[in-house]
Structure 1
Amino acid sequence: MLVVHWSPVNNSKHILKNGIRKSPNGIYCYPVTGHRSLDRWWMKALKRFRKDGKSYNGFIFKVEEQDLPAYYGHFIGATTRDKFEKPIKSLSELGQELQNTVIWRIGERVSWSAAGIPTNETDYLKLGREEIFKRPELYKETLNDAAFMEYILGDYQIVLTKSINSNRIIRVIPANEEFGRVLYKNKKQKYSEGELKEGKYFG
């Protein structure tokens, strides 16, 4: 799974040399989806929330088992000021949590179009799974729906436990351009352009 960590532009040289250093809570990062607007959602949110006038670069790296345990969920209650648990112990569990978030929202959308009125007891995850069983292509269609994916994941984040070495940084998303490529001396590009296709990491 690829994720992006956002940091002020003036930290970029330090990060590319020394890696991403964890805060007291860990490393805050966000799933890479290939949808430009969604992948930059937190860059815009940080500028809006912090109001410090800074621009942010995004540093893409691949999550590994050694980075866990992790927190995955809504940012409320899991900011840098909060104390919270990191219950996710494996990459497969993290992937399942991400998938369930998408399926839950599919179920929610199904309930909107149903004749009945949803209640607090409505099992959206069950509804989503039932709809995908009837229409197997629906899950992939959802992953490729940029607007709906932004609604699904816009407020969500991952918080990892350990710092990330600089040699694990694959790409940088510049503050004012589309996905950029960081070229290192004597280092081959590990991931082709096709690796960042929409929906690639939620299949």
Structure 2
Amino acid sequence: MSEQDNHIMQWADGRVRCRWCNPQNPLYIAYHDAEWGVPCHDDQRLFEMLVLEGFQAGLSWECVLNKREGFRQAFDGFDPLVIARYPDEKLEALRHDSRIIRNKLKIRAARTNARVFLAIQAEWGCFDAYLWHWTQGKVICEQGCTRSLLSDQISADLKKRGMTFVGTTIIYAYLQAMGVICSHDEGCWKQVQHAEDRPVCP
């Protein structure tokens, strides 16, 4: 099955999926079916995915997804309170942890961003309120984009607050993952299933 064809034919289970989903990777299929594009309002998961999207920079999401359980173990379940207090020794130890992507700047960004995340929680009551206020709680539906005015604005604000690895392309991918932007391909069973839940479709 070619990358161009895999979104227009039925898969082994009879469902049609987005063309980016790897039919040979059960983790990727499960992620596509159960997580990607589903509106998320849980701060713990919002933080986890923010960190992981930062680690994806320059890599494929599949690479990060395959290591997600290792990341969870190495980063204390992505508890921002714990990560915000990581000493430099912990960051150095993570550089030698084979369970994760061992990039020095991305590891350091996890601590920096945890601290900013906590500050946003303190200001807004929860990160969920901050994130969804940008669209007044609505889901935006669009396909074929890698950035938008919305991701530009959120990226700029997060950078102003001190976060790193939150460029507009990273934030756009994050918004798609968290369901703020619904980008399932036309014909994908998820796009069809949630059609009535997408009030801002063009």
Alignment TM-score, normalising by the size of structure 1: 0.26
Q: Which of the two has greater strand per residue?
A: 1
Q: Which of the two has greater helix per residue?
A: 2
Higher relative contact order (CA 8 A, sep 6+): 1
